[in-house]
Structure 1
Amino acid sequence: LKQFIIDTIVSGDGDVPLYLKIDDGNADDKSVFVERLKEFKNQWTFDGICVADSALYTAENLSAMAGMKWITRVPLSIKSAQNKICNIEDSDWEDSQIKGYKIAAQTSEYAGIKQRWLVIESEIRKQADLKKIVKQVEKQLESAKAKLRKLSRQKFACISDAEAAIKKLSESWKYHQITEIKSQEKTVKATKSNLKKLARTQTKVYQITGEIEPRNSAIEAEKVKAGRFILATNILDAEAVTNPQVLSEYKAQQSNERGFRFIKDPLFFTSSVFVKKPERVEAIGMIMGLCLLVYNLAQRKLRQQLSATNERVKNQVKKLTDKPTMRWIFQMFQAVHLVTINGAKQVSNLTQERQDILRHLGEYCCQYYLIFSSE
């Protein structure tokens, strides 16, 4: 199991971590979701929207989140979700402001809570899912042929046993079924090797076989669902938060994932935490969270300043961008050194591009590199 878990809540604007909690590696995220949100709400003046993945969507969690605005993904394991994701008329779709997405609005009252459900179809994901379905059908066909050959060699004491076995095998496949089932009666003569097993000198056994055919209805149903997922929100007013905005807010959830990529970076050595006390694990986790806070605050400020001044910096491939990562900025400054010449401190390799970046980051960063304003 994991040594420990870090729960974080970040802002949609700039990925700034606002809340961090260290949990035991055995903790179940579904059971702690609402508790974390309530703790967060008690610590912050918060009137925004909570965005989370499908682990949040349980009847218990939704009931406990009364009074909060939320957007989450609906697990397709819920029966009503399976029905709604397929039963969409062409006229129900509306184009999203996000290229490559379509949205169909539905209503729901899951767990006794009125909700707005949005069936989303991603064109890119749909094409990927269709290719995946073709591969799965082909893979299952090869496996089905091998299992049917094995079953056809098996001997049964009666026809009903043989038919039950082939029916069970057929029902175990999602994309295929066995048709044209035929049984064959055979007489087994007693030999020295099986004389003890056979009560008589000869007995009858049955073997069964059939033809494998695709379950076209199941395959077509999977193709219909390809590229689709469902978002749910308790914000019923589509004018307060439009359908495209719900999708946009959900997609912004990746800001939290970017933070975890930062924390899991090999530079942190988080795959190997060798401390004896839980308090020390919590201390290490807190340091990681503070590093992420400083990193994202700096990145957010730099990007905001570049956007406000309509300026750009060169990225790793020498192309101009207004959304550089702080990781790249740190690499740019690795060649900068503080040197002392005749008792005077100087900063070397501080090119004009690096000075511009420092000015965007603010006065304190400039002073750190011995750049002082003329005022």
Structure 2
Amino acid sequence: MQREERYVNERLDHLGVVAGVCEEIGLATYLDRRAGQTKQHVSVGTATVAMILNGLGFSNRRLYLVPQFFANKPVEHLLGPGVEATDLNDDCLGRTLDWLYAHDPTQLFAGIAKQARQVFGVSARHVHVDTTSFAVSGAYERDEKEKGEGEASMIAITYGYSRDHREDLKQWMLALATTQEGDVPLFLRPLDGNSSDKATLASAVEALHEQLHAPESDPSFFVADSGIYSEANMRSFNEAKILWVSRVPETSKEAKAMLERALDQAEWQVSADGQTHWFTRTVLLPQGEERWIVVRTEQGETRAQATFQRQGEKIKHNWQQKLWHLSNQRFACQADAEAALQRELKGLPPWLDVQHELVSSEHHSGKGRPRKGVAPLLQWHTKATVTVNQQHAEQAIRRKACFIVATNALDSAVFSEQEIMTLYKAQGSVERGFRFLKDPLFLASSVFVKKPERIVALGLLMVLCLLVYRLAEYRLRTRLAETEQTLPDQLNRPTTRPTMRWIFQCFEGIELLHIHSTFGTQPLVLRLKPLHRLVLTLLGPPYEKIYKISS
């Protein structure tokens, strides 16, 4: 008797890696444990993992197209037995978003992130905090009076300062904290569209300090941009014994005074590579004692030079126009002309020099030829030229390249100036997270949900996607360094720090073939190459199991 066989082909691609990270950190189990017993066919945890798979599928499909996304994917292999693509419909995902909102996304993510850090061994010694905005299309009109007592996590979708320069659209904001090691997110908080960094960043740091505080571990350092720096915030941090590093805004009179005197200081130190210059001062402020490090980098000077070249000619031209208009005015005496010139010169940049002279001329009043014997009137006007003082211009460029990094860690023997500068420069960690979340191919490049509640839940999903992505990247890079191996990059050059985006692209085309026969079903993974096998070996046995690789 001839055996009958039927073949079903499904696209696995890189989704097995994403599902493997979710499984390893126990994401679905954590949420299902919080949700308890339900009568739903697809649990909250499983539906959340499905939306993460959709988000990291980089297919630019909105949530209502999730069933279409999974139509040719091995759904049971990724999410568990009994789950089909049609089960992941609007009702299922809508209920999940509502449940996530009702159970405080900030607290849910804190629990998941803590669990993930413990599993992957990510240090939270240095934490970077920042905020960004997400523009939305739609009215989102909601009266503040409608917010109930139990809706503390409700946000206002409104107009505010847009980081994306879309002031014409309403927006919501997101506070995010990531580790310096691996850029792994630790904390999220959705915010009103017009929130102030001074308040929101401070409360985020205090909340995260409570989450991370453990008697047996070293305290965390919190790093933020100048938006967090204020007398009230720094005093609050000092009282709570929170260690912080922040840039000092140049608007404060103390910062202005120090930067004005910076170039005259003789104690500038230079880094080994000659790229960074700095000196240190301990300053006593109303909020307490702080260590201020005035920093100037060669890269910063290059940027300041380019800015000066772009803007300097325009500023010079404006002053020339201003003084030309003044030269067309006539004054009754030399003193009046001198006084008018001095008034016009107020605000002149120190790198511009004005050479001027006062010129007198005779003038008869009235029209026509003057009568004989009438003495002419003596009038005065100014004549001025504007030039650039190169020495002062170079000083202005160097002054513009200086900035102040402050900390309440006063002992340089414990936390050196070089460590503080390196830590502040690593603030790009959280900014890289924002770039990831705003990627055009990502889940929420534009937000299309009708209720603000679901925008809050969607914010949680976005950062969960970032968490899974960063954990996979951290594990792969760590294992490559430990085993002293490399992977080829986009130009086929060896690298120990590949991005997961590139690895995901390398996994495109991997398929799961189901061979159905009278003897049962046999799954077979197709198109696995040595590169894929090496990546899965480095990630660990759970990932090899998903791709059916035996040891």
Q: Which range, TM-score by smaller chain?
A: 0.7 to 0.9
Q: What is the Cα deviation at residue 12 of structure 1?
A: 1.2
Alignment of 1:163-174 (within 5 A): 163-174=338-349
Name which structure has the greater RCO, CA cutoff 8 Å, separation 6+: 2
Partner of 1:299: 473
2:290 to 100, 105, 115: 115
The whole-number CA distance in structure 2 between the counterparts of 1:266 and 1:162 is: 60
- Partner secondary structure for residue 507 of structure 2: helix
Amino acid at match of 1:225: R
Q: Which residue of 2 aligns with 1:194?
A: none
Q: Give the Cα separation in 2 of the matches to 1:35 and 1:185.
A: 68
- Determine whether 1:285 maps to 2:443: no
**Partner in structure 1 of residue 548 of structure 2:** 370
Residue identity over aligned pairs, in percent, reads 33
Cα separation, partners in 2 of 1:158 and 1:7, compared to 1, 3 Å: farther
C-alpha distance in 2, partners of 1:98/1:257? 26
Contact 1:57 1:73 in 2 (8 A): yes
- Distance in structure 2 (CA, Å) of the matches to 1:272 and 1:203: 72
Structure 1 residue 251 and structure 2 residue 425: aligned? yes
Cα offset for 1:153? 2.8
- 1:49 and 2:225 are equivalent in the alignment: no
Quickly say closer, same or farther: Cα 1:218–1:88, change in 2 above 3 A. Answer: closer
Question: Is 1:348 the counterpart of 2:526 in the alignment?
Answer: yes
Question: 2:183 is matched with which residue?
Answer: 15
Equivalent position of 2:276 in the other structure: 101
Using structure 1 for the length normalisation, give the TM-score.
Answer: 0.87
Deviations for 1:246-284, whole angstroms, at most 9, x for unmatched residues? 111111211111101100101136453233322111111
Count how many residue pairs are aligned between Structure 1 and Structure 2: 364
- After TM superposition, the structure 1 stretch with the greater mean CA deviation from structure 2, 202-211 or 147-156, is 202-211
User: Does the residue aligned with 1:114 lie in a helix, a strand or coil?
Assistant: strand
Range with bigger deviation, 148-157 or 228-237: 148-157
CA distance in 1, matches of 2:532, 2:394: 57
| Preserved CA contact (<8 Å) 2:223 2:246 | yes
2:358 matches 1:182: yes
- Pick one of 512, 534, 539 that aligns with 1:361: 539
Which stretch shifts more, 177-186 or 134-143?
Answer: 177-186
Alpha-carbon distance in structure 2 between the residues aligned to 1:33 and 1:161: 54
Structure 2 CA distance for partners of 1:216 and 1:81, relative to 1, 3 Å: farther
Alignment check: 8 A CA contact 1:183 1:208 kept? yes
Q: Deviations over 1:172-208 (max 9, x none)?
A: 33232544242556757667xxxxxxxxxx9997644
Matched, 1:320 2:494: yes
Which of 170-179 and 56-65 deviates more? 170-179
Partner of residue 195, structure 1: none
Q: Quote the Cα distance in structure 2 between the aligned partners of 1:314 and 1:28.
A: 44
In structure 1, what is the equivalent of residue 505 of structure 2? Answer: 331
What are structure 1's unaligned runs of at least 5 residues? 192-201
In the alignment, residue 530 of structure 2 is paired with which amino acid? Q
Cα offset for 1:367? Answer: 1.5
**Which amino acid is 1:14 matched to?**
G
Residues in 2 aligned to 1:296 and 1:238: alpha-carbon distance in whole angstroms: 32
Determine helix, strand or coil for the equivalent of 2:293.
Answer: strand
Structure 2 residue 318 is matched with structure 1 residue 143: yes
Matched residue SS, 2:258: helix
Structure 2 CA distance for partners of 1:311 and 1:272, relative to 1, 3 Å = same
| Partner secondary structure for residue 237 of structure 1 | coil
Instruction: Name the CA distance, whole Å, in 1 between partners of 2:462 and 2:362.
Output: 72
> Structure 1 residues 88, 210: closer, same or farther in 2, change over 3 A?
closer
In the TM superposition, what is the alpha-carbon distance from 1:171 to its structure 2 partner? Answer: 1.7
Mark the CA change 1:287 to 1:220 in structure 2 (over 3 Å): closer, same or farther. Answer: same
The question of whether the paired residues in 1 share the 8 Å contact of 2:232 and 2:287 is answered with no
Secondary structure of the structure 2 residue equivalent to 1:141: helix
Output aligned runs, 1:211-250, within 5 Å. 211-214=385-388, 219-250=393-424
Cα 1:207–1:188 shift into 2, 3 Å: farther
The one-character-per-residue Cα deviations of 1:93-118 (angstroms, maximum 9, x if unpaired) are 33335662123122112334111111
1:229 Cα deviation after fit: 1.8
Q: What is the aligned counterpart of 1:31 among 187, 190, 199?
A: 199
The answer to whether the Cα contact below 8 Å between 1:33 and 1:61 also exists between their aligned partners in 2 is no
- Corresponding position of 2:153: none
Work out whether residues 98 and 244 of structure 1, in 8 Å CA contact, stay in contact via their aligned partners in 2.
no
Distance in 1 separating the partners of 2:538 and 2:304: 44
CA deviations on 1:189-235 (whole Å, 9 max, x unpaired) are: 667xxxxxxxxxx9997644323244677535414425322211111
Shift of 1:76: 2.4
Deviates more, 1:17-26 or 1:31-40: 31-40
Asked if 1 retains the 8 angstrom alpha-carbon contact of 2:332 and 2:380, the reply is: yes
**Structure 2 residue runs without a partner (length 5+):** 1-159, 163-170, 368-375
Partners of 2:234 and 2:287 within 8 A in 1: no
